[in-house]
Copies of this chain bind each other. A is one copy, B any other.
Amino acid sequence: MSPRGRRPGGADTRAGIVSAARAEFAENGYDATSLRAVARRAEVDPALVHHYFGGKPQLFAAVMDVPADPAALVDRVVAGPREQVGESLVRTFLALWDSPEGRPRFQALIRAAVSHDDATRMLREFLTREIFGRVTAAMAGEGEPPADLELRAGLAASQMIGVAMMRYVVEFPAVVAASHDELVAQVGPTLQRYLAP
């Protein structure tokens, strides 16, 4: 241990940072949590947090135990052709959710977000800033943005959250049985109409 009580590097350090971040996000929400405050609580140098996680969205994904950086996935989707953003979003999230590591973690995430006010707030702030913020910025950047872009982004999210609820929580048979191609064909145009009408 260093004189200032900092932990040595390695898996313990990473786990300690995730644990400190979980507490900070729960106490202060996503927006008001800084990497510096997480580092202070974990008793590590802030540079170490950057080293392990890169930034706040990746740290949040680690806290939520999600096996990917959702913000980076969204960036990749909106960088593609504008007329395919709907289908691309559906395909990207299905691939993430339906992976063997993804499914139980997303089920747990939805249950937590619905059951605990802390988790609801964290998720709302994360979705607003890192997911919809990126989507709306990308959509507004080309052509004429619709005046109700935030509502449209929220409705796109509502459709994806609803699909996740029906496929992983309520387990409605026809939605569970549907292939990725079927869901992309049905739900892709819905997101496309909301985001890039």
- The answer to whether B115 and A170 have CB atoms under 8 Å apart is no
Contact of A186 among B120, B155, B169 (CB under 8 A): B155
Residue interface mask A74-100, B partner, CB < 8 A = 1: 000000000000000000000000000
8 Å CB contact of A173 from B110, B150, B175 = B150
Q: In the complex, A171→B119 CA distance in Å? A: 12
Known: A114-B114, A124-B171, A190-B190. A178 touches B160 (CB 8 A): no
Residue from B159, B169, B174 in contact with A151 in the complex, judged by beta carbons closer than 8 Å: B174
Main secondary structure of the interface of A (DSSP, over half): helix
Q: Shortest distance in angstroms between A137's beta carbon and chain B's nearest beta carbon?
A: 15
Which of the residues B111, B150, B172 comes within 8 Å of A157, measured between beta carbons? B172
A64 sits at the interface (CB 8 A): no
Binary per-residue interface labels of chain A (149-175) against chain B in the complex, 1 for a CB within 8 Å, 0 otherwise: 011111101111111011001111111
Residue A12 at the chain B interface, CB threshold 8 Å: no
Q: Is A33 located at the chain interface by the 8 A CB criterion?
A: no
Tell me which residues across on chain B come within 8 A of A163, comparing CB atoms.
155, 158, 162
Tell me, yes or no, whether A123 is within 8 Å of chain B by CB.
Answer: yes
Residues of A within 8 A of B (CB): 110-111, 113-115, 120, 123-124, 127-128, 132, 148, 150-155, 157-163, 165-166, 169-175, 177-178, 182, 186-187, 189-190, 193-194
